[in-house]
């Protein structure tokens, strides 16, 4: 079946013209799940339905959403729901497409989430660079308020709900949930010690759930159609669909919403049009730049958290980036480490200093002025960052170093004397319009 | 130095939070717009007064985030994403095209003050690489010819057609604008019918926490 004809959840109507306008969204069953929840379900009913669906966090950690919500102590008020729209993991771009094209599906999911946990004022944290996304959401929120879906006594149900759009200002670390909360409180975006977990002490030290855009955008379907309908796709352990962001050396980069467990090869060859120029693949990462690189013998792995873990990586955000056979992995790792060095928040020593040193050594390899044993030195340093930094950013930075040296140690040896060759222009093929 | 309009917008934003400190990042965007695209020290001091925060705190936050500029910056800020997924599709070559066309290096501003060129990290648009954020907008699938056209049009004060976002906010964040300025008008939208409650209460009955 052509990709366009396959069933979808979030993307079902995403390309309908003007779906970002409330009347068009409503004409496509929009806000029916919200009405259904308010008229015939309690907050607990919504929570239980989400639990039964097996929905797990799409922000990368795949933690069961219903369980996360149920951890919030009931008798403490106020409680907060915070939507994480900080999307900045290299190779990941599903949230941005949702907010610029289909803002109401996120708002409806967010409303349902607030209702499920008993939150009367929720915040959507939008990455600073997503100015168009922010403006689109702001317009959509104003429309939803005019319809009475947000505000005091929503649709006469007795439930009060306010939603505020908050903005970041350029910092990858603010995607980490506790750093996001610091940022939302008006501080530098630095992570906080866990425990206490946000479910107990989050925003303004109150019980808080932080959920990703894509996670919440699945909720209207789950409430509208039921948990069983959601479970018709995906695997027993990870039901539903996942939007896979395909980038790099492919003919049709873009977002593809597929049942969890679809094989990587199918996504790459049938949907993303195969590798640019029909070349072979050197390496790919399956879930954003923070997930270990895999070699092409792993292409038949089903894209679900358990199978990807068994293959030696992590599903993460399902940001699938393909590197063709001519790519120099040292160059790729060098560039990624510059990213992590730049984005380290500076709070803890292993990440702040360690990334600096990793980049220093990669710099000399890039110039062909490396030293014997540099690969071992990199491994030693990366191993000492991973697991020893304050938050997972340190682990994420160690990942490309460790996984590339594991698979391609000879490339590192080569650069002890040979500089990285100057870039080769890659002929442009336009994106697939996503 | 903050204009009355800016102070008013900051006060409007403050109402959205239980404490004023949360309004700091949005307020800095308002101040940055007001001061013409960057944050002079006096603007930060006034934000501190407006929000009743220590100046040192405002400064520490303004320096943490990459979207606040503490020095004057070009009228148009061109930020090409060169993180690996974009790098695979010619982002570095596009940086070179901009350098050549503008006659400046990275983090430099043209002599006429019209353009600043920068490199940025993944903007979550790797599917349409090479791409750049220019002012408030994303420009996607950039080619060498488009570089020329983009620079020419921006130089004339026009908005090039490759932009995705129709409004021209001169690089300021839309949070610094009021609904009216953004053209958000929902007066034609009628309230939806109320829901008819079916037995169960809307408030979640407290049950035992896990
Ligand atoms: C360094 C770092 C960056 C992260 N960035 C994001 C992000 O941009 N968006 C996101 O949803 N989650 C991000 N996360 C994961 C969040 O901490 C959190 O797990 C997630 O927002 C929870 O939502 P979910 O359960 O719906 O997935 C990041 C985590 C780390 C360690
Ligand atoms: S790497 Fe450039 S937008 Fe993601």
Question: Is residue A429's pLDDT more than 80?
Answer: no
- Chain B interface test: which of A31, A135, A420 (most B C-beta within 10 Å): A135
Contact (Cβ atoms closer than 8 angstroms) between residue A53 and residue A180: no
Q: What pLDDT is recorded for position B208?
A: 45
A289 touches chain B (CB under 8 A): yes
Domain end residue (candidates: B108, B138, B155): B155
ipTM of the predicted structure? 0.95
Question: Is residue A434's pLDDT more than 80?
Answer: no
Q: What pLDDT is recorded for position A421?
A: 81
Mean pLDDT of chain B: 93
Alpha carbon of A144 to ligand 1 centroid (Å): 27
Helix extents (H) in A154-200:
177-184
Read off the pLDDT band of A1 (50, 70, 90): confident
Q: Is the dihedral of CA A223, A228, A232, A233 positive or negative?
A: positive
What domain count does chain B have?
2
Share of chain B above pLDDT 70, in %: 93
Mean pLDDT within B197-201 = 69
Domain end residue (candidates: B36, B64, B92): B64
Read off the pLDDT band of B198 (50, 70, 90): confident
Contact (Cβ atoms closer than 8 angstroms) between residue A377 and residue A365: no
Question: Is residue A433's pLDDT more than 90?
Answer: no
Q: What pLDDT is recorded for position B160?
A: 87
A246 touches chain B (CB under 8 A): yes
Domain CATH code at residue A293: 3.10.20.600
Whether B29 sits inside 8 A of A167 (CB atoms) is yes
Q: pLDDT tens digit string along A99-146?
A: 999 999 999 999 999 999 999 999 999 999 999 999 999 999 999 999
* Same-domain status, B51 and B83: no
Q: A247 in ligand 1 pocket by Cβ < 6 Å?
A: no
* Same-domain status, A220 and A348: no
Mean pLDDT of chain A: 95
Task: Say how far apart CA A259 and CA A242 lie, in whole Å.
Answer: 6
Distance from CA of A61 to the nearest CA of B (A): 18
* Same-domain status, A52 and A179: yes
* Same-domain status, A268 and A357: no
* Same-domain status, B146 and B80: yes
Report how far apart, in Å, the C-alpha atoms of A79 and of each of A8, A119, A120, A208, B152 are. 32, 5, 7, 6, 51
Task: Say how far apart CA A158 and CA A147 lie, in whole Å.
Answer: 16
Query: Regarding predicted confidence, which is higher, B167 or A308?
Result: A308
Q: What pLDDT is recorded for position B42?
A: 97
Contact (Cβ atoms closer than 8 angstroms) between residue A106 and residue A133: no
Whether A147 sits inside 8 A of B191 (CB atoms) is yes
Task: Say how far apart CA A221 and CA A226 lie, in whole Å.
Answer: 7
* Same-domain status, A194 and A289: no
- Cβ partners under 8 Å of residue A414, min gap 6: none
Q: pLDDT tens digit string along B113-138?
A: 999 999 999 999 999 999 999 999 99
Domain end residue (candidates: A324, A349, A374): A324
Q: pLDDT tens digit string along A148-196?
A: 999 999 999 999 999 999 999 999 999 999 999 999 999 999 999 999 9
Distance from CA of B137 to the nearest CA of A (A): 7
Q: pLDDT tens digit string along B103-119?
A: 999 999 999 999 999 99
Is residue A423 assigned to a domain? no
Whether B90 sits inside 8 A of A255 (CB atoms) is no
Neighbour tally for A308: CB within 10 Å = 23
Is residue B34 assigned to a domain? yes
Q: What pLDDT is recorded for position B200?
A: 55
Write out the two tokens for A18. Answer: 């003007």
Question: Is residue B41's pLDDT more than 90?
Answer: yes
Of the listed ligands, the closest to the CA of B130 is 2
Domain end residue (candidates: B109, B136, B155): B155
Task: Say how far apart CA A49 and CA B75 lie, in whole Å.
Answer: 51
Q: Pick from B133, B139, B130: which is nearest to B116 by CA?
A: B133
Question: Is residue B100's pLDDT more than 80?
Answer: yes
Is residue B185 assigned to a domain? no
Q: pLDDT tens digit string along A333-356?
A: 999 999 999 999 999 999 999 999
Exposed/middle/buried for A5, CB within 10 Å: 0-12, 13-18, 19+? exposed
Is residue B160 assigned to a domain? no
Phi-psi region of A364 (alpha: psi -120 to 50; beta: other; left: phi over 0): alpha
Q: pTM of the full predicted structure?
A: 0.96
Is residue B126 assigned to a domain? yes
Q: A286 in ligand 2 pocket by Cβ < 6 Å?
A: no
Q: What pLDDT is recorded for position A20?
A: 97
Contact (Cβ atoms closer than 8 angstroms) between residue A150 and residue A161: yes
Query: Regarding predicted confidence, which is higher, A422 or A88?
Result: A88
Q: What pLDDT is recorded for position A191?
A: 98
Domain CATH code at residue B120: 3.40.30.10
Q: Pick from A56, A177, A61, A47: which is nearest to A118 by CA?
A: A47
Q: Pick from B19, B183, B10: which is nearest to A121 by CA?
A: B19
> How big is chain B by its Cα radius of gyration, in Å?
21
Name the residue of A170, A176, A289, A399 whose CB sits within 8 Å of the most ligand 1 atoms, as the mutation to test its pocket.
A176
Q: Which domain holds residue B8?
A: 4-64
What domain count does chain A have?
3
Q: pLDDT tens digit string along B8-34?
A: 999 999 999 999 999 999 999 999 999
* Same-domain status, A315 and A366: no
Mean pLDDT within A39-61 = 98
Is residue B136 assigned to a domain? yes
Q: Which residue of A has its CA nearest to B165?
A: A132
Q: What pLDDT is recorded for position A432?
A: 41
* Same-domain status, B91 and B53: no
Contact (Cβ atoms closer than 8 angstroms) between residue A219 and residue A293: no
Q: Which domain holds residue A29?
A: 3-231
Read off the pLDDT band of A422 (50, 70, 90): low
The size of the A-B interface in CB pairs under 8 A is 262
Q: What pLDDT is recorded for position A425?
A: 46
Is residue A38 assigned to a domain? yes
Q: Pick from A264, A273, A245, A244: which is nearest to A429 by CA?
A: A273
Domain end residue (candidates: A285, A309, A324): A324
């Amino acid at each position: 079946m052509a990709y366009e004809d396959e069933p979808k959840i979030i993307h079902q109507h995403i390309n309908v013209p003007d779906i970002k306008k409330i009347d068009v969204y409503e004409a496509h069953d929009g806000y029916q799940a919200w009405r259904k929840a308010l008229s015939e379900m309690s907050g607990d009913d919504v929570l239980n339905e989400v639990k039964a669906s097996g929905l797990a966090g799409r922000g990368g950690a795949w933690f069961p959403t219903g369980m996360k919500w149920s951890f919030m102590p009931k008798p403490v008020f106020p409680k907060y729901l915070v939507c994480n729209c900080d999307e900045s993991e290299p190779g990941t771009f599903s949230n941005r497409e949702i907010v610029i094209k289909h803002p109401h599906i996120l708002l409806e999911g967010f409303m349902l989430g607030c209702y499920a946990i008993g939150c009367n004022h929720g915040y959507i944290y939008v990455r600073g660079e997503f100015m168009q996304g922010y403006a689109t959401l702001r317009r959509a929120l104003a429309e939803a308020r005019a319809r009475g879906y947000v505000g005091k006594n929503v649709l006469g149900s007795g439930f009060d709900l306010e939603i505020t759009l908050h903005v970041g200002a350029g910092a990858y670390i603010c995607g980490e949930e506790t750093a996001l909360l610091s940022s939302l409180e008006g501080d530098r975006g630095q992570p906080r010690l866990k425990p206490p977990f946000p479910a107990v002490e989050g925003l303004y030290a109150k019980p808080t759930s932080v959920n990703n855009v894509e996670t919440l955008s699945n909720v209207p379907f789950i409430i509208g159609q039921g948990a069983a309908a959601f479970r018709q796709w995906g695997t027993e352990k990870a039901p539903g669909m996942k939007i896979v962001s395909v980038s790099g050396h492919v003919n049709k980069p873009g977002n593809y919403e597929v049942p969890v467990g679809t094989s990587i090869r199918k996504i790459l060859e049938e949907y993303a049009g195969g590798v640019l120029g029909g070349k072979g693949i050197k390496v790919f990462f399956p879930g954003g730049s923070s997930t270990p690189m895999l070699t092409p013998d792993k292409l038949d792995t089903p894209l679900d958290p358990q199978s990807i873990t068994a293959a030696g990586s992590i599903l993460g955000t399902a940001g699938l980036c393909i590197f063709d056979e001519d790519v120099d992995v040292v160059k790729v790792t060098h560039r990624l480490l510059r990213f992590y060095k730049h984005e380290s928040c500076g709070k803890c020593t292993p990440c702040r200093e360690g990334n600096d040193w990793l980049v220093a050594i990669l710099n000399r390899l890039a110039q062909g002025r490396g030293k014997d044993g540099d690969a071992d030195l990199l491994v030693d340093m990366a191993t000492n960052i991973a697991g020893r930094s304050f938050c997972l950013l340190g682990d994420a930075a160690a990942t490309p170093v460790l996984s590339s040296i594991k698979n391609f140690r000879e490339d590192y040896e080569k650069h002890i004397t040979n500089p990285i060759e100057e870039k080769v222009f890659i002929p442009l093929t336009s994106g697939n319009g996503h | 130095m903050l204009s009355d309009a800016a102070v008013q917008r900051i006060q409007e934003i403050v109402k959205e939070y239980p404490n004023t400190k949360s309004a700091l990042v949005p307020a800095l965007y308002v101040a940055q717009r007001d001061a013409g695209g960057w944050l002079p020290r006096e603007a930060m001091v006034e934000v501190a007064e407006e929000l009743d925060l220590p100046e040192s705190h405002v400064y520490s936050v303004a320096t943490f985030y990459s979207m606040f500029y503490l020095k004057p910056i070009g009228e148009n800020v061109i930020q090409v994403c060169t993180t690996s997924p974009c790098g695979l599709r010619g982002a570095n070559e596009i940086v070179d095209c901009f350098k050549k066309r503008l006659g400046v290096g990275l983090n430099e501003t043209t002599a006429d003050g019209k353009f600043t060129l920068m490199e940025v990290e993944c903007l979550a648009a790797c599917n349409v690489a090479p791409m750049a954020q220019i002012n408030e907008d994303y420009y996607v699938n950039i080619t060498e010819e488009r570089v020329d056209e983009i620079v020419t049009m921006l130089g004339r004060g026009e908005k090039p057609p490759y932009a995705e976002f129709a409004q021209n906010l001169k690089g300021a964040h839309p949070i610094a604008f009021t609904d009216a300025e953004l053209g958000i008008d929902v007066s034609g939208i009628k309230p939806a019918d109320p829901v008819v409650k079916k037995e169960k209460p809307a408030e979640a009955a407290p049950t035992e926490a896990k």
